[in-house]
Structure 1
Amino acid sequence: MTIIDIAKELGISKSTVSRVLAGDSRNVKPETMRKIQETATKMGYRRNELAVNLRRQTTKNIGIIIPEIVTPFFMTFIQQAQKYMRKNGFRTIIAVSNEDSEQELENLVMFEQCRIDGILICPCHKSKNNKAFQRLMDSGIPLVFFDRKVSEMDVSQVSIDDNLMSHFMVEALIRRGRKKIVHIAGPDYVSNAVDRYRGYREALEKFQIPFDARYVVDGGLTADEGVQAMEQFLSLGLDFDTVFGFTETAVLGAKSVLQKLHYKIPDDIALCCLSGTTLCTLVFPTISAVEQPVNQMASEACRILQRKIETHDMSPEKITLRGEMKLREST
């Protein structure tokens, strides 16, 4: 059912029908408006927002690409981003890369084909899709990166200072007498894993604790990988008093191994991590963590993206937020 059909039914111009159905009542008699609205409802007319927006060179849709949906962090980000963009007249489309750069690329292509106005993305690799990111930005589609960064690109991003917060967390443990700290590290292709590892190293150096590479174990991103990392380290037979994880899922996996082996937390072993969420408070003992200001991160990322969409200004804007250290029962 189209505007032309309604105009023919009423014997009036399609431009008048179009204006009324678009909400423009100027120079239209109240009786004519009433007839148009009633006829449109009767004939089952539905306004084609996509067609309207394409004529205006916009779809009023933005895309969000996240690497996983296991932890509450990304769900909270999406909720806040949707709330912000909806208030400003935009709809959101969500895609998950599952920590796979190929899936991430497919999501980027899908959004491009859908004529998306802009993209918020937490990249799963610090450089693998850089060419695709640059091509999209060159074509006029703005991107804003959040949580994780990309290397060798001058882009808009919102994140915390992972290096500094990692340093602060390890420092807090050392000041409590912990000296043999195992670091379950994230993959080196994830930008903030590198920053957090560097913060760990710098804290040891500050307190003149010799670095031992055996105390750094590749832990991946999941709880299962955290289990494997903990079992791998325990097989070395080294003394340790703390486990510091790249993220909460890896530490929760390590925690399950330690408790099965009857280690007491925190008496025998302290546990802590970065990127903590409510998951850290739902276990016993609760896990000490650095928490990211996720609502603020989402709002700032949306603000930057909306500015880029409306002004066509592609100049990068970078914001570094402050994480909050929550010391709980596990330390």
Structure 2
Amino acid sequence: MKHITIKDIAKHLTISVSTVSRALVDDKNIRRETKEKVLEAAKKLGYKPNPVATNLKYGRTNTVGVIVPEMVTPSASLVIEAIQRVLYPKGLKVIIAQSNENSETERENLLTMERFMVDGIIICLCHHSKNKEEYMRLQKEGIPMVFYDRIPDAPDASKIVVNDYTKSFFLVEHLIRSGRKRIAHLQAPDYILNSHERYRGYRNCLEKFNIPYDDNLVIKTGMTIANGRQAAERLLKNKIPFDAIFAFTETLAIGAMNYLREQSVKIPNDVAIAGFSGTELSTIVYPQLTTVEQPFEKMGQTAAELILEKIKNPETSNRTVVLDAEMKLRQSTECRI
């Protein structure tokens, strides 16, 4: 179907393009009769104004780019939904891109947002520093950015996070108080800053309860359910004794739990399992998974509010907002029978 332009209206009425353009924006210098003819022709031909072209006249596209690392878990959809709830009533639309846990794909997504001339970018990173130069360049060129959950190591940026250290400490403390002493930690890659904070919470909690740290119990792995399975398999094959698992994400925890159950390991009697970044996925597995649940909707809402501030006033100071997360105790960490 052909898109009708103001050139088509001008040709239909044998008048100039500029006259059509001025009539469509209700220019006071255009005669009433001409305006009526233009509007009637526009309706007859099925003309629809191009909002992007209109907005560009005022130096804005009224769009915000949102880049997420993955869409396997519901976390991204919760964040995006909250962003849209804030931005849509303000007349801003959202362009969404997924980086698939790949920093090169993330870079391409950033460049795509730049080409689309978005007014701002909200992003959860794949790697804390790989695309640091791009973040800095885009912001210098006038595209404000807000980072949430997985953030860069650059101090000069607006960020929304939770207290990864404190909540990890409390989650490991819960495992210890339920009688566990050999707690394995499935750690995310070093290039994710949250990984260091959650590991620090794990290690300091062991120290508080005078439980010896064992490097064999720390398995550095990826982020997926398959990575969780592989980590659990490694623990069993290496005959490393453990009675609990604290996983960086619920995907790792679910993968580990599924593999252990296939090997006839009873959850939680033999091994208790808990994870961070919980979503509703943790409630549809068996047994239901103990997790720390981040407030993803609040993250999205706050990110949208911060990007609006930056769009309205580019001189607005960068802020770091720390949100509370909630520990959800479920069957996967119940005390031994």
- Cα displacement string for residues 168-200 of structure 1 (whole angstroms, at most 9, x for unaligned residues): 111112122211111011111111111111110
Q: Secondary structure at the match of 2:265?
A: coil
The CA deviation at 1:216 is: 0.5
Which secondary structure does the structure 2 equivalent of 1:275 belong to? coil
Paired residue secondary structure (2:318):
coil
Out of 46, 67, 70, the residue aligned to residue 68 of structure 1 is 70
Amino acid at match of 1:107: N
Q: Which residue of 2 aligns with 1:86?
A: 88
1:163-174 pair list within 5 angstroms? 163-174=165-176
The more displaced of 35-44 and 283-292 is 35-44
Paired position in structure 1 for 2:57: 55
* 1:29–1:83 Cα change, 3 Å: farther
Q: Distance in 1 between matches of 2:53 and 2:143?
A: 19
Judge which range, 34-43 or 162-171, deviates more: 34-43
- CA deviation after TM superposition for structure 1 residue 91, in Å: 1.1
> Paired residue for 1:282?
284
Amino acid at match of 2:326: E
1:254-292 Cα deviation digits (max 9, x unpaired): 111110111111111111000011110001110000011
Confirm or deny: 8 A CA contact 2:23 2:34 kept in the other structure: no
Residue 134 (structure 2) aligns with:
132
Kept in 2, the 8 Å contact 1:180–1:239? The answer is yes
Measured in 1, the distance between the counterparts of 2:11 and 2:260 equals: 76
Corresponding position of 1:176: 178
Q: Partner of 1:160 in structure 2? A: 162
Task: Map 1:16-31 to 2 at 5 A.
Answer: 18=21, 21-22=24-25
Determine the C-alpha separation between the residues in 2 that align with 1:63 and 1:57: 16
Cα distance in 2 between the residues matched to 1:288 and 1:28: 68
* Offset at residue 299 of structure 1 (A): 0.5
The C-alpha deviation readout for 1:208-238, integer Å capped at 9, x for no partner, is 1111111101131011111111111112223
Secondary structure of 2:65's counterpart equals: strand
- When normalised by structure 2's length, the TM-score is 0.91
Question: What is the match of residue 114 of structure 1?
Answer: 116
Aligned to 1:40: 42
CA shift for structure 1 position 40: 1.0
Q: 1:193 aligns with which of 189, 192, 195?
A: 195
Instruction: Specify the alignment match of 1:205 in structure 2.
Output: 207
The residue number in structure 1 matching 2:247 is: 245
- What is the CA–CA distance in structure 2 between the aligned matches of 1:231 and 1:10, rounded to whole Å? 75
Tell me the distance in 1 between the aligned counterparts of 2:154 and 2:59: 31
**Match in the other structure for 2:262:** 260
Deviations 1:34-67 (A, max 9, x none): 6543321102222121221111111111111111
Question: What letter matches 2:205 in structure 1?
Answer: A
CA distance in 1, matches of 2:324, 2:52: 39
Task: Give the CA deviation at 1:3.
Answer: 4.1
Structure 2 residue identity aligned to 1:274: F
Deviation at 1:5, TM superposition (A): 5.6
**Unmatched 5+ residue regions in structure 1?**
none
- Indicate whether 1:99 and 2:101 are aligned: yes
Aligned partner of residue 154 in structure 2, secondary structure: coil
Q: How many residues align?
A: 330
State whether residues 142 and 314 of structure 1, in contact with CA within 8 Å, keep that contact through their aligned partners in structure 2: no
CA shift in 2, pair 1:125/1:27, >3 Å: same
Q: Which amino acid aligns with 2:139?
A: M
2:308 is equivalent to residue 306 of structure 1: yes
TM-score by length of 1: 0.92
- Could you tell which deviates more after superposition, 162-171 or 33-42? 33-42
Residue 329 of structure 1 and its aligned partner are, at CA, apart by: 0.7
State the secondary structure of the residue aligned to 2:331.
coil
Structure 2 regions of 5+ residues with no counterpart? none
SS of alignment partner, residue 330 of structure 1:
helix
In structure 2, distance between residues paired with 1:18 and 1:64: 33
Offset at residue 152 of structure 1 (A): 3.3
- Aligned to 2:277, the other structure's residue is in SS state strand
Aligned-partner residue type, residue 273 of structure 2:
L
Question: 1:6 Cα shift?
Answer: 4.2
Letter in 2 for 1:232: R
Distance (Å, rounded) in 2 between the aligned partners of 1:225 and 1:155: 31
